[in-house]
Amino acid sequence: MLEITVERHDDYVLCRPVGELDAYTVAQFREALTELAEESFVLVDLSDVPFMDSAGLGALIGGIRRARENDGDVAVACNRPALIRLLHTTGFDRIVPVRETVEEAVLALGETTD
């Protein structure tokens, strides 16, 4: 089971999936990211995602691509060592900022616009 909350802040939109991101739940995540593709700044908080497979990673990359096609930007907050390792190993952290906390990720969003 996956739950996704979306919080609108002054400078960004926070997308927070809660639960496993895998082949069974990825459609819901992909849909949420598609709905946010028009936003200028999207922050994806993976701190409540205990597991993510290649389907989840693919949806995340697709969401980033759509956001960038609309001149938007994305950052990721994640404090789970296993997911951070996945994002690092796949080179994901070279295409978007990955920070440990939401606050640090918000700052990273600002850095990309200067």
pLDDT mean values, one per 10 residues, the chain (114 residues): 95 96 96 95 96 95 94 95 94 94 92 48
Query: Please, what's the largest Cα pairwise distance for the chain?
Result: 39
pLDDT for position 18: 97
pLDDT for position 1: 86
Contacts for 32 with CB less than 8 Å, ≥ 6 apart:
4, 6, 15, 17
User: Taking the mean position of all CA atoms in its chain, how far away is CA 6?
Assistant: 12
pLDDT for position 112: 47
Q: What is the domain-level CATH number for residue 7? A: 3.30.750.24
Domain count, the chain: 1
Residue numbers of the domain that contains 41 = 3-109
Per the domain annotation, does 114 fall within a domain? no
